[in-house]
Amino acid sequence: MLWLIVLLVAVAIVYLAARYSRFRSQAELILSVAVALGLIVAFVIWLSDRGSQQPPTPEPTRPAGLTTEDVALEGVTFERNQSERSYRVRGTVHNRSAAALEYFRLTVTLEDCPGGACEQIGDDTALILVRVPGGQSRPFETFLTFPFRDGEPPTTPKWTYEVSQVRGAATR
């Protein structure tokens, strides 16, 4: 609303300057003072708004009650994909919390254990987007890639996995 009034005043000043030669000599001074006053008012409003704002409260990364212990994995299988270094991971995720699960991060470590002597090959973490209401289960699938040389896949792979992060939503 204020901008509409300012616009009408500016149009009136330009009209009067074009119409009357006596007013034309004063129009530049009037417009300069009006712009300066407008900038001062805008600065004062900006300062008063900035001082009255509360610092933002950080949003919790998960609702109370949903932890990595509330998420259980079952039937996790690893099968080699088309690429020799890539594996398809499938399983079922169980949400033992009352809050709905939105996503979780699965961290997997691959070791090669020929003859019982294990050597770590690498690890990978996947973000798995799966919405699981509280107390329910859903299947999931993802792909992981590990850094071993071409032509030298693990002969006796050993998989270690864990849920490393969860994100949930409060039930409505």
**Per-domain residue ranges for the chain?**
2-52, 68-169
pLDDT of residue 4: 76
pTM of the full predicted structure?
0.58
The CA-atom distances, in angstroms, between 30 and each of 11, 17, 27, 89 are 13, 11, 5, 73
Which residue stretches of the chain have pLDDT < 70? 1-3, 51-65, 149-151, 170-172
Sequence-distant (≥ 6) Cβ neighbours of residue 10 within 8 angstroms: 31, 34
CATH number of 68-169: 2.60.40.10
pLDDT of residue 62: 44
pLDDT of residue 54: 63
